[in-house]
């Protein structure tokens, strides 16, 4: 390895200029943004680190491909070993995406004593704890700010700014595609299918939008936040996930009539030693700051025992916002190199994981029913609620014709176990034709 890897801090070192060589695994949208920022911000990067930062090699699929940046063909390679096994490279930046190949390459780089920065939320959600341990064992930095909420510095806030506090709740709009769609449904009265088509036409949604609309993308991010915020190894499979594909225009309209906005919320909450994690469409009261986060923007609300409420807001994706987060991590790694403290700030999960059972997960719920429009139905609903320790905070009834009606309610706080048991119990009811929708509620005065 080059001498810089074992650089010890001294007055003389601080006055010397060193070149830090970067290896880019991937040169797609984010990789291009990273290269662009490094090239265009050389003066700023030098004054912050007293080092020249240079992209030594970039892994690509085709060297001959036309690119939006001017990069020397000699810096391109199709062989990953030219980066992870290259002794001249100090820091590896993984922006190639995917999971298994990226995991193997990052592990290989860490074992070679190279520091790693990644924007790969899928990888971090599935293998973050394992890779953090490997980084610590090799005295290496592993940073992944760009894996959650793009350009919003939420992970750094948790690790550094709020490190002295005990986080009790993290709740956020973590997917710009779904937030754009729900905003359009809310503000323009459009239906789900129309909004999805428009999101795809604008490039906000993929041709296969499953990861976004079914909540999987947000679930990966809330797993990362849960791991960092609660210092425990949160598995993606432990996040309860429900997407927005079942949300209708009627749900949006009723939400607004009760004073709420519909948002796809990722939630990580700690109660004593127990934690709960979920991603689901949620009615957010209009007085809550998350209710006014619209379009493709992301926001993360954090509650700490000491600091109280804080919220982080900004662009959650895109070439330059995400690349900015990557380069910020790069700067931190370089500063650590100059101080000789790489790997010392890494905190692998150290707390035992205790998941809260559904019987102790409490919140209000929005429920929309299609029922027979006849005497005794409301009394029946009230009785079934009482059977499962449920009660009604707000209720609205609307005739549908043909001896049918819609009954829309917001409950007081009730356990998830009770809601699930009640839904199963009334599934065969003759009075209730179907449960059209059931969503969590956040904020408001339900108790």
Catalytically active residues are: 221
3-state class percentages of the chain: helix first, strand second, coil last, to nearest 5 = 40, 25, 30
Cα separation, 96 vs 328, in Å, equals 18
Of the candidates 404, 407, 401, 357, the residue with the CA atom closest to the CA atom of residue 381: 407
H-assigned helices in 208-280? 210-213, 216-230, 249-257
Cα separation, 146 vs 326, in Å, equals 6
By the 8 A CB rule, do 240 and 277 touch? yes
By the 8 A CB rule, do 370 and 400 touch? yes
Q: What is the DSSP letter of 220?
A: H
By the 8 A CB rule, do 172 and 298 touch? yes
For residue 329 the two structure tokens come to: 């991590």
CA distances to 246, 368, 372, 408 from 398, rounded to whole Å, are: 21, 11, 11, 8
Q: What is the full DSSP assignment across 2-24?
A: -GGGG----HHHHHS-EEEEEEE
For residue 433 the two structure tokens come to: 């034709």
Cα separation, 38 vs 41, in Å, equals 5
CB burial readout 113-148, b (16+ within 10 A) else e? bbbbbbbbbbbbbbbbbebbbbbbebbbbbbbbbbb
The vertex-343 CA angle with 29 and 172, nearest 5°, equals 50
């Amino acid at each position: 390895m080059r001498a810089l890897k074992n650089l010890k801090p001294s007055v003389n070192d601080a006055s010397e200029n060193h070149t830090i060589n970067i290896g880019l695994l991937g040169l797609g949208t984010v990789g291009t943004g990273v290269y662009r920022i490094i090239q265009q911000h050389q003066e700023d990067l030098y004054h912050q680190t007293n080092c020249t930062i240079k992209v030594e090699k970039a892994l690509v699929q085709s060297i001959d491909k036309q690119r939006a940046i001017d990069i020397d063909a000699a810096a391109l390679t199709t062989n990953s070993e030219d980066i992870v096994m290259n002794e001249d490279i100090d820091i590896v930046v993984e922006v190639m995406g995917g999971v298994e190949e990226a995991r193997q390459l990052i592990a290989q780089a860490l074992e070679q004593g190279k520091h790693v920065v990644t924007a790969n939320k899928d990888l971090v959600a599935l293998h973050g704890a394992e890779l953090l341990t490997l980084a610590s064992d090799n005295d290496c930095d592993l940073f992944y700010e760009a894996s959650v909420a793009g350009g919003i510095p939420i992970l750094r806030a948790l690790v550094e700014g709020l490190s002295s506090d005990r986080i009790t709740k993290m709740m956020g709009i973590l997917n710009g595609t779904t937030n754009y769609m729900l905003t359009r449904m809310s503000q323009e009265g459009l239906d789900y299918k129309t909004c999805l088509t428009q999101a795809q036409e604008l490039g906000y949604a993929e041709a296969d939008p499953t990861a976004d609309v079914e909540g999987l993308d947000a679930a990966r991010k809330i797993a990362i936040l849960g791991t960092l915020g609660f210092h425990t190894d949160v598995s993606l499979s432990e996040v309860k996930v429900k997407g927005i594909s079942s949300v209708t225009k009627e749900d949006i309209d009723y939400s607004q009539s009760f004073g709420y906005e519909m948002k796809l919320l990722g939630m990580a909450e700690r109660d004593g030693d127990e934690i709960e994690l979920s991603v689901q469409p949620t009615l957010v009261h209009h007085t809550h700051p998350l209710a006014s986060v619209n379009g493709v923007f992301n926001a993360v609300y954090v509650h700490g025992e000491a600091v109280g409420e804080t919220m982080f807001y900004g662009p959650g994706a895109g070439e330059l916002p995400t690349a900015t987060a990557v380069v910020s991590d790069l700067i931190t790694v370089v500063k650590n190199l100059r101080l000789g403290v790489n790997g010392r700030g890494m905190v692998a999960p150290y707390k035992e994981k205790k998941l809260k059972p559904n019987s102790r997960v409490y919140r209000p719920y929005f429920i929309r029913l299609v029922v027979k429009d006849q005497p005794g139905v409301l009394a029946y609903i009230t009785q079934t609620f009482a059977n499962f320790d449920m009660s009604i905070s707000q209720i609205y009834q609307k005739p549908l014709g043909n001896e049918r009606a819609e009954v829309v309610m917001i409950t007081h706080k009730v356990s998830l176990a009770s809601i699930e048991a009640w839904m199963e119990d009334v599934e065969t009811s003759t009075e209730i034709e179907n449960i059209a929708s059931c969503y969590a509620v956040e904020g408001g005065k339900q108790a």
